[in-house]
Structure 1
Amino acid sequence: MAKLVVFILLMIYGSVFASEKLILPSNKRIEYVGRWDKTDPKNYHSYWGGAYFNLSFKGNAVKINLTSPVSVYVKLDDGKMVLYKNVSGWVKITPDTLHSITHHLQVIAKFQNDEIQLAALALNEGGKLLKSVKKKHWVEYIGDSITSGDRTTQGNTSAYPWLCSELLNVAHTQISYCGIPLVSGYHHNYKGAPEIGMESAYLNLKQPNHPDNTEWDFTNAAPDILIINLGTNDHNLQVDTVLFKQTITQFTRNLRFIYPNSHILVMVPFNQAYRKEITEMVLNEQKRDKKLQLINTENWLNSNDFVDGTHPTDAAHLKISARLVKIIKPLL
C-alpha cells in the first residue's frame, strides 16, 4: 500500500523529483514530538507551539512538502536554528554546501499558531533515511505565554522549557498558549484570546479556539516529568483565590490520574501570584502524592528580567532554565 501511495505521489510531482527519494510522513524512521494528528498518512498535522519532528539521514539535501503556510525553525546537526518564515509547498531546508554524510535534522513549529502540515519529504538521489535516535526521557511543560516564549527572539525555542530540556538532552513538549488562565470561564478581551482555561484545553489535541477540537489520546506514552506554570493570567483576570486553589488541586489530581507514575512539579508564577494557595495545595496533596513537588521561584528574577513587567527576556529565560536543570536532573 505504501509503495502505491509513493507511486501516485511520484506521478503527481512528476519529473521534479524523478532523481530524488520521496518519503511519506508516516515513515517509521521519522520521530514526531508533541501533539500530532496522524490520521491522514499523507498529511501529518502538528498542534501547539514547539511541536517538532526529527530525522536522521545520509545525504546532502532534504526538502519538505508543506500543505499550508507555516513558520518553522530548522536545526541541522549542531548548527544554529534557521527560520523559514511563512513557507509552503516544497521547501529545501539544507544548505547547498552540505556534505553527503550522516546528519540529524530537526523541524520545529515556531510559535503557538504555527501548525506543521507535512505531506512528504525528499532526499537527494542516493540519500538514505536513517532511524532517529529517540531521547531516553521526556519532560512536558504546561503554561501560558511565558512557557511559550512570548516576547522572546525565537518564540518557543528561546523559552525556558526548550532551553532547559536541550541542556538535559531530553524530549520536550510545551502545552502552552498566550493569555490562557488555568480556570475556565475567565478570558481576556483581545482578539484571539483563549476562551477556555487550561483545565479544559489540556485535554485537547489542538490548541484553544479551534472550532473542531477533539480529545488528545493520552494512552500512547507518558512524560517522565510534568511542570505546571499557571496563575499569571488568572491573577490578571482576578480569579478568586479559593476558586483557583480548588482548580489547581483538581488539575493536578487529573494529571495524576492520566499519568500515575510521572513526577508533577508545580511552579509558583514568577510574579508570585497565588503563592500561598499553590504552596498550601502542594503540601496538602503530598500526603497522598509522593511524586508531587513545589518549585519555589521567589527571587529567581528581578525587575530587570522582564520585557514588560510580565514576560521574561531572553536572558531571563536562560536564568530560569539553569535553575530548572538543577531541579529536574535528579528526577530523571
Structure 2
Amino acid sequence: MLLFNPQISGIILLILAVGIGCAAAQSLLDPIDANIQYYGRWNQSDKTMISWWPGAYAKFNFTGTTLAIKLRSTVDLYYKIDGGEYMQLPEASETVQLAEHLEPGLHSALIASKTEKDSIQLQKIIVDTDANIMPPAPAANIVEFVGDSITAGLTTSRGALTSYAWLVAESLGLEHTQIAYPAVCLVDGCSDAAPGMESQYFKWKGWHDDENWDFSRYTPSAIVIMLGSNDEKIVQQESSRFEEAYSNFLKRIRTEFQEAHIFVISEPLGALFAPTQSAVLSLTSAGDKQMYFVDSTPWVQYGKAFNDEAHPSDYGHEVIARKLFPYLQAKLAVPTQPLPGPPPNPNLPGIWQTMDIGGEESVGLPGSVSFDSADTFTLWGSGKDIGSTQDAFRFVYQQATVNTVVTVKVESHSAFASCAKAGIMVREHLAASSPNVILGMSPADGVIFQSRPIRSMDTKLAGSARASSPCHLKLERKGRDFFGSWSTDGESWEPVAELRGLNMAKDYYVGLAVTSCDPSVVSVAKFSEVKINGKVSQLGKPHLILQPNTL
C-alpha cells in the first residue's frame, strides 16, 4: 500500500561521466518513481518529494553496491540500510552518501525525518549505473498517530523514531504516520492564538493558510489519538469546550476514514481525562462501534519513565508502546478480537487489581496486598501522603461507573506517622495527580473526608469525625455528588460530610487506599466486609470504557 503513488512510474536515468581512475558511474533517479514508498504526508514539487510532520519516511529496495541521495535543503534525518541500525545525519544537505562497498544483490533503504522541523526535500536517489530500484513488500496495514510533543517523541534520543508511535508500529510490522507537533493543543487558539489539531490535522503542513490534505492518499486501518496536555492550561475551567471540540474532531476524522479503528488514548498523566472520555462516549453511544477510549495513566509513573514533568524518556516510550501493542493487535487481527482487559491478579479475588500510585521517589517502599476472602483484605502501603497536589500510596481497586456505594469495615490501622491514611477511595484515573475523593482513617484526625476536585490542584478536607478502628465507612457517589458516612456497627450511619458538583469522569476507579505518609516506612491496614453496591466483588469483566459492547 503506497502513501504516495504518482502517475509517473518510469525511472529517469542520467548517466554521469565516468571519472578518471576507478570512480564508478552512477544513475540519478527522480524520487517520484512509483517503486519508492512514502509514508507520512508528502507532496511533489518540481520533481522533488517534500515531507512535513515528524517521522515521515521513504523506503525502497535497490540493487548495486552504493546509495546516495540529493537534498534540496538541509535536514536532520535518520536512515538505515538492509534493516540495520538507524544512522543519524545531522544537518544533511546537498549530496549525502548513505552506503558504499555493499555486497552485490538486493538491498533495502529507509530515510526518515527526526522532528517536525525536519522537512525532507528529496531531489534525487543515486545508485550504480546498472542498478535498479524496486518496491518493498506492500504494507498490510497503516496506523496513524495524532498528538502533541509526546507523540512526536520530544526529549527522546531520536525524536519521532524513539516515540511510542514509531516503536509500537514497528513492533507490529505496520507502516505508520505521525501527525504531531510539540505544544499543539486540540482547540484552536489555545496557545498564542495558534491553530489547534482540530484544524491542523486536516492540513498538509498544519497551518490555516496552507492547502488541505488530500485524504485519498492513504487510508489507515487504525488511528491512535493522544491530546490534552497543552489544552489543560487554557480550558481546565472550561472542560465542556474541550469535550465539544474533541467530539467534533472525532466526527470529522470518522467522516474521512469510515472503517478505521480509532483509539483515543488518555494523556499519560491524566490531563483532561473526563472530557476526553466523555467525547468518546458521545460517539460510541451514538453507534460508533470502532472507537475506543483507553486509559494510559497506569502505564507510566514519574521516575525513570520521564525526562521532565511532562515528557516520557526513551524507557517511558518503550513502556507505552508495549502497553498499547495488544490493543492494536486485537483490532487489526483477522477476524478482529475484543480489546484485552487487565490480566487477572492471582493474589486477588475477582476483578480486583493493585498498584502503587505516585512517582518512584514519592512512593518509596513498594506496597502489597493479600486477601483472606473475597471481602477481606490486608494492605501494606508506603508513600509520602494522599494530599496536596499529588498522591503516593498503595491502591487495590476495580472499575466502576457513575452511581456507586462502597462500604467497608476498617478492622485495624497500624501507622508510624500521624498523617497516615487508610480507607475508601474514588479516583478518576491512576496518575499521581488524579481528581479523587477519599473517606478514610487517620491517627491525627480520626475519620476524614477529603477531595482533590481538579487534577494537580490542592486537596481539601471536607469534614472529619472523632473515631478509631474498628470502624465502618460508607462512600457514595450519585452523579457529581459524593457522601461520606461512618458507623460503629454498620447499621446506624453518621454523616461526615458531602461534596457536591465534582466533575469526575463517568467511568472511574474505586477501591481501598493506604499511605504511610513516609516513603521510608510501611503502614498496614486490614479491611473486611468490603462491598460495592451491596455486593461482594465476584468474577467479571472490567467495564471501564475501552470498547462498545459489540466487536
Runs of at least 5 residues in structure 1 that lack an aligned partner in the other structure = 189-193
1:92 match: 97
1:58 pairs, out of 41, 45, 63, with 63
> What CA distance in whole angstroms lies between the structure 2 residues aligned with 1:173 and 1:322?
18
2:330 match: 330
By how many angstroms is 1:218 displaced? Answer: 0.7
By how many angstroms is 1:238 displaced? Answer: 3.7
2:455 match: none
CA gap of 1:87–1:276, structure 2 versus 1, over 3 A, is: same
The structure with the largest alpha-carbon Rg is: 2
2:43 match: 37
> What CA distance in whole angstroms lies between the structure 2 residues aligned with 1:173 and 1:142?
8
1:191 match: none
2:225 pairs, out of 203, 225, 228, with 228
> What CA distance in whole angstroms lies between the structure 1 residues aligned with 2:108 and 2:10?
28
Judge conservation of contact 1:144–1:179 (CA < 8 Å) in 2: yes
Letter paired with 1:250: N
Judge conservation of contact 2:62–2:132 (CA < 8 Å) in 1: yes
> What CA distance in whole angstroms lies between the structure 2 residues aligned with 1:273 and 1:295?
14
By how many angstroms is 1:15 displaced? Answer: 5.6
Please give the per-residue CA displacement for 1:87-115, whole angstroms capped at 9, x wherever unaligned. Answer: 11111111x34212211110001111100
> What CA distance in whole angstroms lies between the structure 1 residues aligned with 2:240 and 2:327?
29
2:138 match: 134
Please give the per-residue CA displacement for 1:20-79, whole angstroms capped at 9, x wherever unaligned. Answer: 122111111110111001243x21111111000001011111111101001110011221
By how many angstroms is 1:230 displaced? Answer: 0.3
> What CA distance in whole angstroms lies between the structure 2 residues aligned with 1:148 and 1:264?
19
> What CA distance in whole angstroms lies between the structure 2 residues aligned with 1:35 and 1:91?
23
Are residues 1:252 and 2:250 paired?
A: yes
Letter paired with 2:111: V
Letter paired with 1:221: Y
Going by fraction, where is strand more abundant, 1 or 2? 2
Give the root-mean-square deviation of aligned CA atoms: 2.2
> What CA distance in whole angstroms lies between the structure 1 residues aligned with 2:165 and 2:9?
39
> What CA distance in whole angstroms lies between the structure 2 residues aligned with 1:55 and 1:282?
38
> What CA distance in whole angstroms lies between the structure 2 residues aligned with 1:44 and 1:18?
26
2:199 match: 200
Runs of at least 5 residues in structure 2 that lack an aligned partner in the other structure = 1-7, 333-551
Are residues 1:177 and 2:174 paired?
A: no
CA gap of 1:213–1:18, structure 2 versus 1, over 3 A, is: farther
Please give the per-residue CA displacement for 1:255-294, whole angstroms capped at 9, x wherever unaligned. Answer: 0011111111101101101111122222231122111101
Judge conservation of contact 1:140–1:227 (CA < 8 Å) in 2: yes
Are residues 1:215 and 2:220 paired?
A: no
Judge conservation of contact 2:70–2:93 (CA < 8 Å) in 1: yes
> What CA distance in whole angstroms lies between the structure 2 residues aligned with 1:135 and 1:68?
29
1:125 match: 129
SS in 2 for 1:302: coil
1:151 pairs, out of 152, 155, 163, with 155
> What CA distance in whole angstroms lies between the structure 1 residues aligned with 2:249 and 2:48?
33
Question: Runs of 4+ in structure 1 displaced over 3 angstroms?
Answer: 2-7, 13-18
2:298 match: 299
> What CA distance in whole angstroms lies between the structure 2 residues aligned with 1:278 and 1:6?
50
> What CA distance in whole angstroms lies between the structure 1 residues aligned with 2:72 and 2:89?
15
Judge conservation of contact 1:177–1:207 (CA < 8 Å) in 2: no
By how many angstroms is 1:18 displaced? Answer: 7.9
By how many angstroms is 1:130 displaced? Answer: 1.6
1:275 pairs, out of 273, 276, 289, with 273
Letter paired with 1:138: I
Are residues 1:290 and 2:289 paired?
A: yes
SS in 2 for 1:233: coil
2:115 pairs, out of 111, 115, 139, with 111
SS in 2 for 1:126: coil
2:33 pairs, out of 11, 27, 31, with 27
Task: Give percent identity, aligned residues only.
Answer: 30
Judge conservation of contact 1:72–1:107 (CA < 8 Å) in 2: yes
SS in 1 for 2:310: coil
CA gap of 1:4–1:179, structure 2 versus 1, over 3 A, is: closer
Length, aligned pairs only? 320
Judge conservation of contact 2:11–2:33 (CA < 8 Å) in 1: no
SS in 2 for 1:222: coil
2:259 match: 261
Please give the per-residue CA displacement for 1:124-164, whole angstroms capped at 9, x wherever unaligned. Answer: 23222122222110000000000000000000000000000
> What CA distance in whole angstroms lies between the structure 2 residues aligned with 1:165 and 1:3?
28
SS in 1 for 2:230: helix
Judge conservation of contact 2:199–2:206 (CA < 8 Å) in 1: no
By how many angstroms is 1:248 displaced? Answer: 0.4
Higher relative contact order (CA 8 A, sep 6+): 1
2:54 pairs, out of 45, 49, 52, with 49
SS in 1 for 2:320: helix
> What CA distance in whole angstroms lies between the structure 1 residues aligned with 2:246 and 2:263?
12
Going by fraction, where is helix more abundant, 1 or 2? 1
2:88 match: 83
Judge conservation of contact 2:262–2:291 (CA < 8 Å) in 1: yes
Please give the per-residue CA displacement for 1:175-229, whole angstroms capped at 9, x wherever unaligned. Answer: 00000000001115xxxxx821000000100134xx8511000123210001110
Are residues 1:320 and 2:356 paired?
A: no
By how many angstroms is 1:14 displaced? Answer: 5.8
